[in-house]
Structure 1
Amino acid sequence: MRSAEYDAFGPWIMPVTSREEIPPLYRGHGLDPATARLVLKLPRNIARRDATASMDLYDHLVIVDDAALTVLSRRAGGYDERVIAHDAICAIDYGTDLLDGWITVYSADEGEQGRAPALALSYVGTSLDVVEKLVSLLRSLYRTGTDRDGDRSPGPAAGGAAGLPPLGQRDLGDRDIALVTRQLAVLRAEPRMRLLGYHRRQLLASREGGALRRLVRLVRPVVLHAAVVCGDAAELQVLHRRDWVTRGRRPEYSLASTVLPLARVDRAVLADDPRNAGVRVLTLHCGGSALELVVPAGSLTEQALVAQLGDRLAR
């Protein structure tokens, strides 16, 4: 047995533009793609040779309309539905680590039926361009005022910060040229954005001393990875690696973006990292969601985040 869906199946995120393209599992939902802004289907993480026409081949159906983001997710015997109103979105984190891609949408909702307020989806990294289109659409729908109306003229960042000159290719060192390239792409595509802060990759010392701890970190160093902060009057974009802190000497290939609508942050807490010296952990609270950013103490990154958060920050 064959079907058009089976014949087209692969590891890619696919757009859905007609009722016939909706995976059979989700057709009872009543979705009409013609009335949505964007509909995407995310495939199961299986090899093409292991797929059959009788399978439910798509793990998720993502629907964006004027009111909300809706995600239908496959489970045994059916699917679950999650709806996040655009005005409840308080952060979006997305990126790739080689072929491993992810997008996490943080919601101000407290969650229901034991579910976390953050919604996380995985995908094959070759579909990053489709995910970027999804993120751009969500941002256009939750932003208000002139930004939502499409005003792309230059404007100040929150707090009146004028911004820094764009980073040069090797300003973060040879290992983080990808972050510099990403920063340049953001500033080119979004004229209202300004470079507000950054820090370079650095090795971390343990907050607790001792010869053994120093020896362990010499053999397996603890690394705080580089990051870049861009922003305007409405949002922050933090460009970073998938993990802020890693152990060991392996090369880092991941590239992540965290988008933060400033108006959605209820409060922020800045505290010393209990394990690593010279490091601060910034925890952003929005309804039921909490998001952590890790920065060097006193760095331009820390200064930019503190300035943008203003009176939401508790120390």
Structure 2
Amino acid sequence: MAITAGTSEYDRFGPWIDEVRVEDDVPRLYRDHPIDLGAARLVLKVPRNITRRDATPDMDLYDHLLVLGAGQLTVLSRRVAPRERRGPVPSGYDVRTVAIDEVVAIRDVVSMLDGHLTILARDGQALSFRYNGSGRRSIAQLVDALRGDVLPAQSGGYGWSGGYGDALAKAAAALAGERSAMALDREDMSLVGDYASIASRVPDLAPWAWHGRRVVAPQGEGASGALRRALHVLSPMTLHGAVVAGDDVALEVFGRHQWLVRGKAPVHSASRLLVPFGSLDAVQITPHDGYHGAVDATLALGDARVELVLPEGSAAHQLFEEGSALAG
């Protein structure tokens, strides 16, 4: 049987994210882009979010090609037509890059089969893309590789001294005596598992603070406040749990896809936030402006910002507050 162009790519197509090791593995859409596979640390191809039965041999079947090279991450992305515009799909692909020493935070989120990786740069720009959640293990491989590259680039080698890294570590040590062994209710035990999975690959990573989910009451006075509270009885707001961990070079936070979620349906999403201490300039704690018993913790990372929502008085709240005080 004659093999037509694209058959090999089509035959291997599926929802999984594959590592690219040889030229033949590069999706044809991206083959005109110069890629030194021998010098690259990791190259991954991210498939389109379509079923196998909807794929055809003449399609470009990969949404992204991720190339982690020396000093930068390059993301090649298939061009797609905006949803609001009808007509032919634009051809070609876009190229985005971020320098490794400019990365200040990485967040990987999966909710059901909807995956989303975001890489924040010091200038506030975000490089992000979606992927099928079944490929999260491969994305974790990329995040681990970035962790290994970003941290030495920012600290001049492993081991960060001074600033918020030391302050948070000292605060965690001071609060350790007030905590029992890490334990959460059954609905949040997966957070412990998420932490343990990363700790198995990062031996010095230790749990610093943790809390389970809790229902929080809306703020508001008068008739509008009473109406909000009544509506929340039918569809309560849950502030979800988290495990905050760290080693001598980075902060890691394991939680859900969103901090606050309305409704009574179970939430089984997962997120991993990685913040190198070399990128952390300040932490600001303020009361949440919508719900009682919650505080906002804003991580300042150059021009970038990362927002956490924590239970008021929780171990995580105390950790960031004490760390901020120690950092001066």
TM-score range, shorter chain: 0.7 to 0.9
- 1:107 alignment partner, one of 98, 114, 121: 121
TM-score of the aligned structures, taking structure 2 as reference length: 0.84
- 1:118 alignment partner, one of 96, 112, 126: 126
Q: Paired residue for 1:220?
A: 235
Q: Which amino acid aligns with 2:58?
A: S
> Mean alpha-carbon deviation: is it higher for 280-289 or for 244-253?
280-289
Q: Paired residue for 2:318?
A: 303
Q: Would the alpha carbon gap of residues 284 and 202 (structure 1) be closer, same or farther in structure 2, given more than 3 Å must change?
A: same
Q: Could you tell me whether the CA contact under 8 Å between 2:107 and 2:117 is conserved in 1?
A: yes
Q: Which amino acid aligns with 2:215?
A: L
Q: Note the alpha carbon deviations across 1:260-312, whole angstroms, 9 max, x for none.
A: 11211233332211110121111223234221110012210112233445677
Matched, 1:137 2:137: no
Q: Could you tell me whether the CA contact under 8 Å between 1:158 and 1:234 is conserved in 2?
A: no
Instruction: Report the Cα offset of residue 167 of structure 1.
Output: 4.4
Q: Which amino acid aligns with 1:129?
A: R
Q: Note the alpha carbon deviations across 1:128-154, whole angstroms, 9 max, x for none.
A: 111111111000001125538xxxxxx
Q: Which amino acid aligns with 1:131?
A: I
Q: Note the alpha carbon deviations across 1:189-215, whole angstroms, 9 max, x for none.
A: 323222111122111111214432222
Residues in 1 aligned to 2:180 and 2:59: alpha-carbon distance in whole angstroms: 49
Q: Could you tell me whether the CA contact under 8 Å between 1:268 and 1:312 is conserved in 2?
A: no
Aligned positions of 1:86-97 closer than 5 A = 86-97=100-111
Q: Could you tell me whether the CA contact under 8 Å between 2:15 and 2:47 is conserved in 1?
A: yes
Q: Which amino acid aligns with 1:96?
A: V
Match of 1:28, SS state, is: coil
Q: Could you tell me whether the CA contact under 8 Å between 2:168 and 2:320 is conserved in 1?
A: no
Q: Note the alpha carbon deviations across 1:69-97, whole angstroms, 9 max, x for none.
A: 11011112211111111111111111322
Q: Paired residue for 2:170?
A: 159
What are the ranges of 5 or more consecutive residues in structure 1 without an aligned counterpart?
A: 111-116, 149-154
Q: Paired residue for 1:73?
A: 77
Matched, 1:191 2:200: no
- 2:217 alignment partner, one of 200, 205, 220: 205
Residues in 2 aligned to 1:70 and 1:166: alpha-carbon distance in whole angstroms: 43
Q: Which amino acid aligns with 1:261?
A: P
Q: Percent identity?
A: 37
Aligned positions of 1:225-304 closer than 5 A = 225-304=240-319
Q: Could you tell me whether the CA contact under 8 Å between 1:44 and 1:58 is conserved in 2?
A: yes
Q: Would the alpha carbon gap of residues 307 and 83 (structure 1) be closer, same or farther in structure 2, given more than 3 Å must change?
A: farther
Matched, 1:8 2:20: no
Match of 1:29, SS state, is: coil
Match of 1:34, SS state, is: coil
What are the ranges of 5 or more consecutive residues in structure 2 without an aligned counterpart?
A: 80-89, 160-165
> Mean alpha-carbon deviation: is it higher for 180-189 or for 137-146?
180-189
Q: Paired residue for 1:113?
A: none
Q: Would the alpha carbon gap of residues 99 and 285 (structure 1) be closer, same or farther in structure 2, given more than 3 Å must change?
A: same
Q: Could you tell me whether the CA contact under 8 Å between 1:229 and 1:304 is conserved in 2?
A: no
> Mean alpha-carbon deviation: is it higher for 134-143 or for 99-108?
99-108
Q: Paired residue for 2:83?
A: none
Instruction: Report the Cα offset of residue 157 of structure 1.
Output: 6.5
Q: Which amino acid aligns with 1:118?
A: A
Instruction: Report the Cα offset of residue 166 of structure 1.
Output: 7.7
Instruction: Report the Cα offset of residue 228 of structure 1.
Output: 1.0
Q: Would the alpha carbon gap of residues 308 and 66 (structure 1) be closer, same or farther in structure 2, given more than 3 Å must change?
A: farther
